C-alpha cells in the first residue's frame, strides 16, 4: 500500500470513528441535524422558499399562522417563513465572510507579533487590547454613526473586533513554538523567517484557531441579528433575523390569535 492510500485509509477511519461517536451522543447528533437543516435551507433558499420574501401583499397582512403561511405574515403581508429562510442566508454570509477575513488577518498579525521584534510585539498587543476595550456593540454604534448602516459595516465591525482575539491566540502559540528545537534546526539550516512561519509555525497554530473560530460563529450571527434588530444592519427590504424580530416588536400588541 502506498503512503497516500494509507493516509486516505486513516482519514476514512477517523471519519467513521467520529461519526460513530456522534451517533452515541444524542445531544450532539440533534445539534448536527438542526444545524444541517438550517444551513441547507439557507444555501438552497431560492429553491425552498414558498413565497417571494419581499413580495408585498397588503390584503393578507399580520395573519396568524395557517397552512398557506406556516409562520403567518408580517405588517406588509410578506410570508414570514420565506423571510426567515432568506434571513438565514444573510446570517451565514456575514458569519463566514467576517470570521474568514478576521482569521486571515489575525493569523498574520499574530505571527508577526510572536515572531517579530519585541517593540513591534508590544505595539501590536497594545493595539489589540485597545480594540478589545471597547464594548463591541458600542464600538459598532460608533462606526455605524460615521459610515452609515449596511451589511458591509456589520462585517467590518466584526472583523475589526475579532482580529485581536485570534491574533492573541496565534501570538501565544507562535511564542511557545519559537523556542522549540525543530524551529532552531530550521534556523541553523538558514531558512528564512517567512519560510519558517508559513511551513512550520502555521500548520501548528491553525488547528486550535479553527476550533476557536467555529465557536465564534453563533456569536457573530447573534451580533448581526442584534444590529439589524436595532435597524443598523441590513437595509430593508432584505430580510434578516434581526429585522424580522424588529418588525414583530413594532406590532407586538397586535399579536393575532
Partner 1 sequence: MFLYLVKRLGLGALIIVVAVVMLYGMIHAVPGDPASIILGPKATPELRAALHARMGLDDPFPVQVARFLANVLRGDLGTDVFSDRPVAEMVFDQLPHTLALIVTAIVWAMALGIPLGCYSALHRNTAIDRITGVLSVGCIAIPSFLVALYALLVFAVGLRWLPAIGAGEPGDLASQARHLVLPAFAVGLGWVGYIARLVRASMLETLGENHVRTARAFGLPERVVITRYVLRIAILPTITVIGIGIGYLLSSAVFIEVVFARPGIGKLIIDSVTTRNYPIVMGSVLVSTVLFVVSTTLSDLVNALLDPRIRSGL
> Residues 6 or more apart from 234 whose CB is under 8 A from it?
90, 150, 151, 154, 228, 240, 243
Q: Give the sign of the dihedral formed by CA 75, CA 153, CA 149, CA 221.
A: positive
Query: Does 212 participate in binding partner 1 (rule CB under 8 A)?
Result: no
User: Taking CB under 8 A as the criterion, which residues in 1-60 touch partner 1?
Assistant: 27
Query: Does 65 participate in binding partner 1 (rule CB under 8 A)?
Result: no
**CA 161 vs CA 40, 78, 170, 174: distances in Å:** 29, 35, 16, 21
Comparing CB distances to partner 1, the nearer of 4 and 215 is 215
Comparing CB distances to partner 1, the nearer of 114 and 201 is 114
Query: Does 198 participate in binding partner 1 (rule CB under 8 A)?
Result: no
User: Taking CB under 8 A as the criterion, which residues in 100-139 touch partner 1?
Assistant: 126-127, 129-131, 133-139
Which grid cell is 142?
460608533
Query: Does 75 participate in binding partner 1 (rule CB under 8 A)?
Result: no
Comparing CB distances to partner 1, the nearer of 130 and 198 is 130
Comparing CB distances to partner 1, the nearer of 189 and 249 is 249
Among 65, 77, 116, 231, which residue sits at the site for partner 1 (rule: CB under 8 A)?
231
Q: How many CA atoms lie within 13 A of 109 on its CB side?
A: 22
Residue whose C-alpha cell is 538558514: 190
Reference 79, options 226, 239, 254; nearest CA is 239
Contact segment (CB under 8 A) with partner 1 among 48-56, 93-101, 199-207, 224-232 equals: 224-232
CB 114 within 8 A of CB 172: yes
Residues that bind partner 1 (CB under 8 A): 27, 126-127, 129-131, 133-139, 141-147, 218, 222, 225-226, 229-232, 245, 248-249, 252-253, 255
Amino acid at each position: 500500500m502506498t503512503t497516500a492510500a494509507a493516509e486516505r485509509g486513516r482519514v476514512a477511519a477517523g471519519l467513521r470513528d467520529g461519526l460513530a461517536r456522534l451517533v452515541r451522543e444524542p445531544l450532539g447528533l440533534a445539534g448536527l441535524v438542526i444545524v444541517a437543516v438550517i444551513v441547507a435551507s439557507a444555501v438552497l433558499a431560492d429553491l425552498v422558499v414558498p413565497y417571494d420574501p419581499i413580495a408585498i401583499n397588503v390584503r393578507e397582512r399580520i395573519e396568524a399562522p395557517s397552512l398557506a403561511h406556516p409562520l403567518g405574515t408580517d405588517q406588509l403581508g410578506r410570508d414570514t417563513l420565506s423571510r426567515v429562510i432568506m434571513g438565514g442566508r444573510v446570517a451565514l454570509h456575514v458569519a463566514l465572510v467576517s470570521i474568514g477575513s478576521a482569521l486571515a488577518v489575525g493569523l498574520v498579525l499574530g505571527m508577526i507579533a510572536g515572531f517579530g521584534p519585541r517593540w513591534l510585539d508590544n505595539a501590536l498587543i497594545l493595539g489589540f487590547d485597545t480594540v478589545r476595550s471597547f464594548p463591541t456593540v458600542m464600538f459598532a454604534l460608533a462606526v455605524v454613526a460615521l459610515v452609515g448602516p449596511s451589511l458591509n459595516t456589520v462585517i467590518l465591525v466584526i472583523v475589526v473586533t475579532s482580529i485581536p482575539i485570534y491574533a492573541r491566540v496565534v501570538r501565544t502559540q507562535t511564542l511557545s513554538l519559537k523556542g522549540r528545537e525543530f524551529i532552531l534546526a530550521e534556523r541553523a539550516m538558514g531558512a528564512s523567517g517567512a519560510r519558517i512561519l508559513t511551513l512550520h509555525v502555521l500548520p501548528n497554530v491553525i488547528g486550535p484557531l479553527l476550533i476557536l473560530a467555529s465557536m465564534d460563529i453563533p456569536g457573530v450571527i447573534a451580533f448581526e441579528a442584534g444590529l439589524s434588530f436595532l435597524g443598523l444592519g441590513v437595509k430593508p427590504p432584505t430580510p434578516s433575523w434581526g429585522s424580522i424580530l424588529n418588525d414583530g416588536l413594532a406590532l407586538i400588541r397586535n399579536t393575532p390569535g
